[in-house]
Chain A
Amino acid sequence: MGKSSRRSTATSSTTPSITPSARSAFFNSKSTPSPSVSEQKSARTSLINVLSRPRPTSAVSHLFAVSNEGFSPFDDDFDLSDQSTISSYASSISSTRHPSAEDVAQLYKDYLDKPFVNIKSTFKHSEFGHDNNPNWRWTSQWNPDEPIHPMVEIQPPYYVLLTTYISYLMFIVLGHIRDFFGKRFVPAHYAHLMSHNGYAALNSDFDSFYTRRLKKRIDDIFSRPVTGVAGRSIVVYDRYSNDEQDTFQYTGGKTRALNVSSYNYLGFASSSGGCADAVEVAIKRYGISSAGFRLDASTLDLHQQTEKLVARFVGAEAAMVISQGFATNSTTIPALVGKGCLVISDELNHASIRFGVRLSGASIRMFKHNDMKSLEKLLRECISQGQPRTHRPWKKILIIVEGLYSMEGSLVNLPQLIELRRRYKFYLYVDEAHSIGAIGPNGRGVCDYFGIDSREVDVLMGTFTKSFGAAGGYIAGSKELIDRLRVRSHAMCYAESMSPAVLTQIIASMGSIMGIAPPLASPAEEESDSVSIVSRHAVYGPAPASSLPTWLTLPTTLLNGTEGRERLRRLAFNSRYLSSGLRKLGFIVYGHRDSPIIPLLVFSPGKMPYFSQMMLKRIGVEKTPIVVVVVAYPATPLISSRVRFCLSASHTKNDIDMLLRACDEIADVLDLRYGKQTMTVDEVIASAEELVAANF
Chain B
Amino acid sequence: MSSTAPTEIPTPLIPLLSLLSSAFLTLQSLFHRIPGSPIIVRYIKSSYQDDPYRSLLEVLLLAFAVRTLLQRRTGGEAEGKSFIKLTAKEIDELVDDWQPVALVEEPNELDAMILPTVPTIYGPNGIKVKTSPTGKSLLNMVTPNWTGLVENERLKQVAVETLHSYGVGTCGPAGFYGYIDVHMDFEQELANFIGTESSITYAQGFAAVSSCIPAFAKRGDIIVADRGCNFAIQKGLQISRSTIRWFAHGDMADLEKVLQSVERDLKRKGGKLTKKFIVAEGIFENDGMLLDLPKVMELKKKFKYRLMLDETYSIGMVGAHGKGLTEYYGVPAAEVDMIFGSMASSFGTGGGFCAGSSVVCSHQRINSSASVFSASLPALLTTTSSTALSILLTTPTLFTTLQSNVLTFRAQLSKLEAVPSVPPTSSPRPSLPVLPSSASSTESIPIGAQTPNKDAIIQIPSHPSSALMYIFLLNPPSTVEEEEALLQDVVDEVQTNGSILITRARRLRGQETFEPEPSLKVCVSAAMGKKDVEKAGQALRAALVKFCSSE
Listed in ascending order, the chain A residues whose CB lies under 8 Å from chain B are: 119-120, 127, 192, 195, 197-204, 207-208, 211, 215, 222-231, 234, 236-237, 259, 261-264, 268-272, 275-276, 279-280, 283-301, 304, 323-327, 330-331, 334-336, 347, 350-352, 355, 358-359, 365-368, 374, 378-381, 383-385, 388-389, 391, 393-398, 423-427, 458-459, 463-466, 468-471, 480-481, 483-488, 490-491, 493-496, 499-502, 505, 627, 629
Contact = CB atoms under 8 A, between A and B. Distances in A.
A230 B170 contact: yes
Interface stretch (B60-68, B93-101, B445-453): B93-101
B387 to A, nearest CB: 10
A350 B173 CA distance: 13
B100 A395 contact: yes
Interface in B67-120: 73-74, 76-78, 80, 82-84, 86, 90-91, 94-95, 98-105, 107, 111, 114-115, 118-120
Contacts of B164: 271-272, 276, 280
Given A347-B74, A493-B507, A291 B170 contact: no
5 contacts: A197-B304, A208-B363, A215-B366, A352-B369, A380-B95
B171 A466 contact: yes
Contacts of A502: 168-169, 378
B231 A496 contact: no
Nearest to B144: A292
Given A359-B238, A629-B177, A396 B118 contact: no
A225 B506 CA distance: 40
Given A288-B156, A490-B508, A495 B206 contact: yes
A95 to B, nearest CB: 26
Contact of A301 (B86, B122, B235): B122
A264 B171 contact: yes
A378 B91 CA distance: 12
A359 B176 CA distance: 27
Given A291-B150, A469-B171, 17 more contacts: A199-B306, A223-B365, A224-B179, A227-B182, A284-B160, A289-B344, A291-B125, A295-B118, A296-B143, A326-B203, A355-B369, A397-B100, A425-B99, A485-B104, A494-B206, A496-B345, A501-B163
Contact of B204 (A280, A379, A496): A496
A255 to B, nearest CB: 12
B95 A351 contact: no
Contacts of A271: 163-167
B519 to A, nearest CB: 13
Contacts of A459: 103
Contacts of B183: 225
Contact of B103 (A331, A463, A481): A481
Interface string B370-382: 1011110110110
B323 interface: no
Contact of B304 (A199, A296, A490): A199
A465 B375 contact: yes
For the complex of A and B, the 5 pairs showing the least CB-CB separation, nearest first, are: A495-B206, A496-B344, A326-B374, A324-B204, A292-B143
A299 B94 contact: no
A291 B120 contact: no
A288 B104 CA distance: 34
A659 B521 CA distance: 56
A227 B185 CA distance: 12
Residue in B80, B207, B306, B360 with the greatest tally of chain A CB atoms within 10 Å: B207
B248 interface: no
A396 B508 CA distance: 21
A469 B166 CA distance: 11
Contact of A297 (B114, B115, B121): B121
Contacts, number: 395
B151 A287 contact: yes
A5 to B, nearest CB: 33
B74 A270 contact: no
Contacts of B490: none
Given A192-B359, A272-B164, A495-B206, A297 B177 contact: no
B465 to A, nearest CB: 20
A496 B172 contact: no
A297 B129 contact: yes
A336 B103 contact: yes
B405 interface: no
B167 A469 contact: yes
A299 B119 contact: yes
Interface stretch (B38-46, B269-277, B407-415, B436-444): B269-277
Given A297-B501, A326-B203, A499 B84 contact: no
A491 B508 CA distance: 10
Contacts of A325: 203, 374-375
A484 B74 contact: no
B378 A286 contact: no
For the residues of B in contact with A, the DSSP-based class is: mixed
Given A231-B167, A352-B374, A465-B171, A391 B84 contact: yes
Given A324-B203, A324-B204, A301 B167 contact: no
A263 B172 contact: yes
A490 B204 contact: no
A152 B76 CA distance: 23
A380 B95 CA distance: 7
Given A326-B207, A327-B204, A501-B380, A301 B306 contact: no
A288 B386 CA distance: 13
Contacts of A463: 375
B142 interface: yes
A176 to B, nearest CB: 20
A383 B365 CA distance: 40
A393 B304 CA distance: 48
Contacts of A496: 204-206, 342, 344-345, 350
Interface string B177-192: 1111111100000000
B384 A288 contact: yes
B124 A471 contact: no
Contact of B373 (A215, A351, A484): A351
A261 B172 CA distance: 8
B431 interface: no
Contact of B150 (A287, A425, A491): A287
Contacts of B232: 490, 494-495
B235 A471 contact: no
B172 A230 contact: yes
A288, A397, A480 pick with most chain B CB within 10 angstroms: A288
Contact of A383 (B95, B144, B159): B95
B123 A289 contact: no
A202 B360 CA distance: 8
Contacts of A327: 204, 206-207, 370, 374
A473 to B, nearest CB: 10
Contact of A484 (B95, B104, B521): B104
Interface in B140-158: 140, 142-145, 149-152, 155-156
